[in-house]
Structure 1
């Protein structure tokens, strides 16, 4: 059964395609469903709308790892570390660094 959060978030985005919180929520909902391709698409949209959204980089990197898209995953980890460090989001930075070490 698809995640019940997906359709309401899509409706929000139909009204405001620049709602980074809705893009992030949609990406996380797809992650919960194991729909990694859709998660990547939504999280990339989140970052396009708000490039300083630290948590979106972590979720995107995790989704890319699940798809074995490791080169892109490394790239997103590095970008996310830069953004999260600038934002003072120490936990996101720590998690991105750990993920980067895991994939090499």
Structure 2
């Protein structure tokens, strides 16, 4: 489904976590990170346990050059993934967090 169709659903009042995740992913895939952040944040407000949304939110923040917000999103995502037992999302976010820390250490050392 394209962005216009998803936006039309949103305008028609069908606001929910899944729609917001779809919009966030669609905008992220189009390289529109700030739009993705808006929808992914809304998704995590609907469903704070949506670990895939936290993971993508962190990636969108990183694409927007906001490393601190990316780390915060992944930290919250890790908690959500651990609560739900979502081992794959947990593993992926741990890798992303370690990569950020390693990059920061390389720049300062």
The 5-angstrom pairing of residues 1-104 of structure 1 reads: 5-14=2-11, 15-17=13-15, 19-104=16-101
RMSD: 1.0
- For 1:13 and 1:92, how far apart are their aligned partners in 2? 27
Q: Deviations over 1:67-93 (max 9, x none)?
A: 110111111111100001111111110
TM-score by length of 2: 0.87
Q: Please, what TM-score do these two structures have when normalized by structure 1?
A: 0.91
The number of residue pairs the alignment matches comes to 100
Runs of at least 4 residues of structure 1 off by over 2 A?
none
